[in-house]
């Protein structure tokens, strides 16, 4: 697999910094079809006679003019997360002697930034026996708990810094734009963006109506959701809900797990959270709502309150380690109230994400490295296509909707 000149220079620099001489660079595709939608993933090995280094090179594609600016921005955002946010969070936790810190991100090596092109290099987790969860199957309880505990540790750093060192937190956030990229579509005179999101929303909802077409009650509840969805999205943007840096992209393929026994994948030993391109300054419940609804099984959703306590208990413990009172900073009652605002948006994300996770590989469009790919019309076309696993999709969506109805969220 050929490496372009800019990437070769970046990898040569990393090789030099890691003590390589007389080395070769071997490259191959780094992800399977349907596992990645935001760029080109290349697995790279730098090796000589003495040692080797396994890396992942993430690079932006050439997109249509309409989407090019967005994709450049999300790459800049991910680079900022690795170069500034995670670095500062690590330092802050060390200063406060946090014994169980958030550090579950891949090791970052370097990046390349030039007009229209952005790339970053991370450690290759697959070469260290980290694995993705099977995206066609809801996560089991142990994996759900593992992710929730990690999110609690991550969100706790923001809350601690925001309350103990607000100037540091504001300075850090002020270094770049961490607004939610979806929210920009509703701002100002962005009529084209609003029309695109409405078309996107309608196409996504149409899949939901197909999924529940044989259930009169759920069809009515979906109509109820459709009538309040945009008002709910507007409420999510209110300043009172912006309290932490979020992950933002909480589908199962953005968590990699390592197991003590490779033959027993019921309980992960270590987790790494990946893909930070749409991180934003928002609310913990943005991550939790998306994660629960898109990845939770009927068993997990049926015991929802217990899992909320798994998250909040760990968050509270971390805040106490920062010498903060969780009842003052983010009590369980406030957590529940915030969740009521964000959980409905989880339904929209579930309708969308499950269409991707439950589709077979031959139903996922190919991404080319060049040319105009994935225009809004092409995305809408993908959403409107019938899927082979519609029966499984329908069952999963009904489970989610019954959960929302049972818990009076819908």
- pLDDT value of residue 2: 81
- pLDDT value of residue 200: 84
- Enter the tokens of residue 310: 């798994």
Task: Compute the distance between CA of residue 69 and CA of residue 289 in angstroms, rounded to an integer.
Answer: 28
What is the DSSP pairing of strand 270-273 with strand 117-123? unpaired
Per-residue pLDDT of the chain (410 residues; tens, 9 = 90+): 788 888 999 999 999 999 999 999 999 987 665 555 557 899 999 999 999 999 999 988 654 444 555 556 788 999 999 999 999 999 999 999 999 999 999 999 999 887 777 899 999 999 999 999 999 999 999 999 999 999 999 999 999 999 999 999 999 999 887 887 666 655 545 566 667 778 888 999 999 999 999 999 999 999 999 999 999 999 999 999 999 999 999 999 999 999 999 889 999 999 999 999 999 999 999 999 999 999 999 999 999 999 999 999 999 999 999 999 999 999 999 999 999 999 999 999 999 999 989 998 888 765 544 333 344 555 666 677 888 999 999 999 999 999 999 999 99
- pLDDT value of residue 239: 94
- pLDDT value of residue 6: 86
Q: What is the pTM of this model?
A: 0.92
- State the virtual CA torsion across 305, 223, 135, 124 in degrees, nearest 10: -90
Residues in the chain: 410
Give the N- to C-terminal CA distance of the chain in Å, as an integer. Answer: 50
- The Cβ-side half-sphere exposure at 167, using a 13 Å CA radius, reads 0
Q: Where are the beta strands (DSSP E) in 139-274?
A: 244-245, 255-258, 270-273
Phi, psi of 286 (to 5 degrees): -60, -45
Q: Decide: 114 and 6 in contact? Cβ < 8 Å.
A: yes
């Amino acid at each position: 697999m050929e490496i372009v000149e800019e990437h070769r220079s970046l990898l040569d620099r990393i090789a030099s910094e890691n003590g390589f001489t007389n080395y070769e660079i071997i490259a191959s595709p780094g992800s399977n079809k349907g596992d990645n939608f935001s760029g080109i993933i290349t697995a790279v090995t730098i090796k000589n006679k003495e040692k080797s280094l396994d890396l992942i090179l993430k690079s932006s594609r050439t997109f249509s003019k309409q989407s090019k600016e967005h994709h450049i921005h999300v790459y800049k955002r991910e680079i900022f997360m690795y170069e500034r946010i995670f670095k500062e969070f690590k330092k802050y936790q060390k200063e406060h002697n946090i014994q169980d810190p958030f550090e579950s991100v891949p090791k970052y090596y370097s990046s390349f930034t030039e007009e229209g092109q952005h790339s970053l290099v991370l450690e290759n987790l697959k070469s260290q026996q980290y694995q993705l969860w099977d995206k066609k199957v809801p996560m089991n309880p142990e994996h759900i708990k593992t992710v929730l505990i990690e999110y609690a540790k991550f969100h706790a750093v923001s809350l601690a810094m925001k309350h103990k060192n607000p100037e540091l937190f504001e300075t850090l956030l002020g270094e770049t734009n961490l607004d939610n990229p979806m929210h920009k579509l509703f701002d100002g005179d962005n009529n084209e963006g609003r029309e695109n999101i409405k078309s996107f929303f309608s196409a996504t909802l149409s899949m939901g109506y197909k999924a529940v077409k044989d259930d009169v009650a759920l069809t009515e509840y979906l109509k109820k959701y459709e009538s309040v969805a945009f008002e709910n999205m507007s409420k999510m943007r209110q300043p009172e809900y912006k309290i932490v840096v979020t992950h933002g992209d909480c589908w199962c393929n953005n968590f990699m797990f390592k197991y003590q026994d490779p033959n027993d994948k019921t309980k992960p030993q270590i987790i790494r959270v990946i893909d930070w391109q749409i991180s934003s300054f928002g609310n913990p419940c943005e991550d939790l709502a998306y994660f629960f609804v898109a990845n939770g099984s009927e068993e997990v959703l049926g015991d929802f309150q217990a899992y909320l306590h798994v998250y909040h208990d760990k968050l509270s413990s971390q805040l106490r380690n920062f010498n903060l009172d969780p009842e003052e900073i983010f009590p369980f009652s406030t957590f529940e109230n915030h969740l009521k605002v964000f959980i409905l948006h989880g339904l929209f994300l579930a309708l969308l994400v499950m269409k991707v996770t439950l589709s077979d590989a031959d139903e996922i469009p190919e991404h080319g490295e060049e040319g105009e790919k994935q225009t809004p019309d092409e995305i809408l076309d993908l959403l409107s296509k019938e899927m082979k696993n519609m029966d499984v999709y329908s069952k999963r969506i009904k489970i989610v909707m019954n959960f929302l109805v049972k818990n009076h969220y819908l």
